[in-house]
Amino acid sequence: MSQTPPSPTPDSPHPYGASYPTGTAGGGVPLQAPPSGPQKYRPRGLWWAVGGVLLVLGIVVFAVGIVFSVKSAFATDASVPLDGSPHQITLEDTGERYVWASPDDSGTCKVEDADGNAVDLSRPTATYTRDKGSGEQQAYLRFDPPSTELTVTCSSQSGTGEVEIGPAVDGSAFAGGIIAGILGGLVLGGAGFIVLLVTLILTLSRPKRPKA
Q: What is the pLDDT of residue 103?
A: 83
Strand segments, DSSP code E, in 82-147 are 83-90, 97-101, 108-112, 129-131, 136-143
Nearest residue to 75 (alpha-carbon basis) of 132, 126, 115: 132
Residue 162 forms beta bridges with which residues?
81
Is-contact 130 136, C-beta < 8 A? yes
What pLDDT shows up at residue 126?
Answer: 86
pLDDT in tens, the chain (212 residues): 455 555 555 555 555 555 555 555 555 555 565 666 788 888 898 999 999 999 999 999 999 988 888 887 788 999 999 999 999 999 999 999 999 998 877 689 999 999 999 999 999 988 888 888 778 999 999 999 999 999 999 998 877 889 999 998 877 777 888 899 999 999 999 999 999 999 999 999 988 888 86
> How high is the pLDDT of residue 5?
56
Q: 80: how many CB neighbours lie within 10 A of its CB?
A: 24
pLDDT of residue 185: 94
Do the Cβ atoms of 74 and 130 come closer than 8 Å? yes
pTM value surpassing 0.75 = no
Task: Please give the pLDDT value at position 8.
Answer: 54
